[in-house]
Amino acid sequence: MLRVDTVETPIGPIHLALRGDALHALRFDEPFEGTRAPTPISDQVRAYFAGNVRALDGVAVDPDGTPFQRRVWAALRAIPPGETRTYGELARQLGTHPRAVGSANGSNPVCLAIPCHRVIASDGKLCGYAWGEERKRWLLAHERR
C-alpha cells in the first residue's frame, strides 16, 4: 500500500506517493490512492518551494522504470539546481540518441526529485515538460534565485 500526501505549492498542489520510505511518484494532476499520511518528503518539498532548492537532492526515489530510463533519471539527478542540460548533451553523456533521452525524460514519474525540468532543447527552448511550460519556467527561475 502506498502512503500518499498532498503539498500546496505556488504552482499548484503536488501529490506524492511513497513506497516504503522512498518517493515512488509525484504529480500535479490528481491525488493518489493510498493511506494518507504526512511524510518527511512532504517537508522536503515544502523546503524546496520555500527557497532551499537542494532540499530534494538526497530524497530516496523508487520509481518504476526500465534500466535505460533509470540511467537517464540518474543523469538528471546529477544536474545541479539552477543549471540546465540539453537533450543532446545528456545523449552524448549516455551514449545514446537525444530522442531516447527525451522519451525517458517524459516517462519520469518523480518530477522535482528527478529534475526533468532542467532539460531543454538545443536552441534553449523549454519544450517537453509534462506539467506545462509555465511550471517549467517557474521552476527554473526559482532555482536561479
Q: What is the pLDDT of residue 130?
A: 87
For the question of residue 116 being annotated catalytic, the response is: yes
Which among 116, 119, 126, 140 is annotated as catalytic? 116
**Predicted TM-score (pTM) of this structure:** 0.94
Cβ–Cβ < 8 Å for 94, 72: yes
Is 3 within 8 Å of 34 (Cβ atoms)?
yes
pLDDT tens sequence across 1-56 = 899 999 999 999 999 999 999 999 999 989 999 999 989 999 999 999 999 999 99
The ranges assigned to domains in the chain are 3-49, 67-144
Domain 67-144 adopts which CATH fold? Arc Repressor Mutant, subunit A (1.10.10)
